[in-house]
Structure 1
Amino acid sequence: MNPDFSKNNGLLSVILQDTNTKQVLMNGFMNEEAFEKTKTDKVVWFYSRSKERLWKKGESSGNVQEVVSMKLDCDKDALLIEVVPHGPTCHTGTRSCFSDDYFSLQTLERTVQKKIKNPEEGSYTKYLTDKGADKILKKCGEEMTEVVIAAKNKDKKELVDETSDLLYHLLVMLNNEGVSLKEVENKLEERHGVKQEYSIRDDIQKW
């Protein structure tokens, strides 16, 4: 990987993206030294244009950004870094500097995991997990039947509603069985010929 530091006063524009949810987290800038330190330390370093110095993202808050992969754009003057964020990315305390109004299946998975880890009375998720695997599997089967019926009836609204219910119950079932959504995504990407799991060691060799 050979960024072009001859442009933009020696700076690369850098976008951080959550490797799991694909949410865009922030934009910053790197000079060559920050780029090299990022490769070496495997956490993101930037160059502050206002303070004219290097700074490690999370150096004061502890919310470092662990590097998973790095990709240059076609002009080699912009960098996309997929990261595992260790805490909120934005200095305001939000997950992203752009917006926290973001939803994905990973968001739902985290909600399910939180409700299982910290059960509350009256929680439907707690009810399912307390009843155990047989109850969860029965609900998955029921919801799949409802999806099939909605599709058969050409009822789009009902199909959307029932598919939403099915996805929720599937995530409860997967979590109950110790399977993450990431593992399913990895398998799907493997089937489609896309490499999903990045080895930091492999990436450093490529860089």
Structure 2
Amino acid sequence: MNIDFAKYADGLVPAVVQDFTTQKVLMLGFMNEEALKKTEETGLVTFYSRSKKRLWTKGEESGNHLQLRQILADCDKDTLLIKAEPKGPVCHTGADTCWSERNHKEDFLLYLEEIVKLRRTSNDETSYVKKLFDKGINKIAQKVGEEAVELVIEAKDVNRALFLGEAADLLFHYIVLLQAKDCSLADVIQVLKDRHQPK
């Protein structure tokens, strides 16, 4: 990768770090040639620290490393985009990102899937999701069937609000069923992508 380190007087190019999965921007650091080389060799994102005046591997003290997945250079070859997998909070404050954003996909269904996953293993006896999981796969599958029938019934009428309510109920219970089968929305999406491929 041909980066124009000489463009900056100190030889440090900005390196924007983005979560490979969620695509959230996690932090901004600076790399010199040596830091970039070490990042590529070790697979752990390494910067040049101006304050420490040395190479600094993210997480070297906290253990919250950034596992390298991809490096891209911008059109002028003077800024890096580092796509990585964070192994814990990225900011020194303990926040997910240096902008205090939660590091999750903006896709609400994927967020909801994470909530279902957390509730499945929670100790909260009042949680509807936990109660469903405690009743087992037969009850969960039965709920999906009931919600599907209710959606079909509402589809025959003209009440949009009731139809959407039943659609939401079905989708929610479908996510619960996927979790019960140790599958995810991503697994289903991959099947659809595979089917979509030209023959």
Which TM-score tier does this pair reach, normalised by the shorter chain?
A: 0.7 to 0.9
Determine the C-alpha separation between the residues in 1 that align with 2:59 and 2:41: 17
- 1:59 corresponds in structure 2 to 60
Task: Provide the residue aligned with 1:155 in structure 2.
Answer: 160
CA distance in 1, matches of 2:189, 2:5: 35
Q: Secondary structure at the match of 2:133?
A: helix
**TM-score (norm: length of structure 1):** 0.75
How far is the alpha carbon of 1:24 from its aligned partner?
A: 1.8
With the length of structure 2 as denominator, give the TM-score of the two structures.
0.78
Q: How does 1:66-85 map onto structure 2 within 5 Å? A: 66-85=67-86
**Which amino acid in structure 2 is aligned with residue 36 of structure 1?**
K
Matched length: 192
1:1-207 equivalent positions in 2, closer than 5 A: 1-9=1-9, 10-101=11-102, 103-104=106-107, 105-144=109-148, 149=154, 153=158, 155=160, 159=164, 164-187=168-191
Q: What is the percentage of aligned positions where both structures have the same residue?
A: 47
Contact map agreement 2:121 2:130 (CA 8 A) in 1: no
Q: Which has the higher contact order (CA 8 A, sep 6+)?
A: 1
Say which one has the larger Rg: 2
Alignment CA distance shift 1:23-1:135 (3 Å): farther
2: CA distance, partners of 1:158 / 1:23:
34
> Which whole-Å deviations, capped at 9, do the CAs of 1:139-176 have from their partners, x for residues lacking one?
334445666647974737973x5555444333322221
Is the partner of 1:6 in helix, strand or coil? helix
Q: CA deviation at 1:73?
A: 2.0
* Distance in structure 2 (CA, Å) of the matches to 1:19 and 1:162: 35
Contact 1:21 1:106 in 2 (8 A): no
1:163/1:60 Cα in 2 relative to 1: closer, same or farther (>3 Å)? farther
Q: Any idea what SS the aligned residue of 1:63 has?
A: coil
Task: Please report the RMSD computed on the Cα atoms of aligned residues, expressed in angstroms.
Answer: 2.9
Measured after TM superposition, the shift of residue 185 of structure 1 is 4.6
